[in-house]
């Protein structure tokens, strides 16, 4: 998992997932 977070392409995906998770917690 750490390797994926280190990748630049995956970093963008991680930010998107974080936004989606935050939205889910808000609802």
Over residues 10-26, the mean pLDDT reads 83
| Mean pLDDT within 5-14 | 72
Burial environment of residue 10 by CB neighbours within 10 A (0 to 12, 13 to 18, 19 or more): middle
pTM to 2 decimal places: 0.42
pLDDT for residue 26 is more than 80: no
Provide the domain limits for residue 2: 1-27
- Provide the number of structural domains found in the chain: 1
- How wide is the angle at C-alpha 9 spanned by C-alphas 22 and 16, nearest 5°? 15
Q: What is the mean pLDDT of residues 1-27?
A: 76
Q: Please say if the pLDDT value at position 12 is more than 70.
A: yes
Whole-number Å distance between alpha carbons of 21 and 9: 19
Distance, in Å, from the CA atom of 16 to the CA atom of 1, rounded to the nearest integer, reads 16
């Amino acid at each position: 998992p750490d390797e994926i977070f280190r990748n630049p392409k995956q970093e963008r995906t991680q930010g998107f997932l974080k936004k989606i998770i935050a939205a889910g917690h808000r609802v």
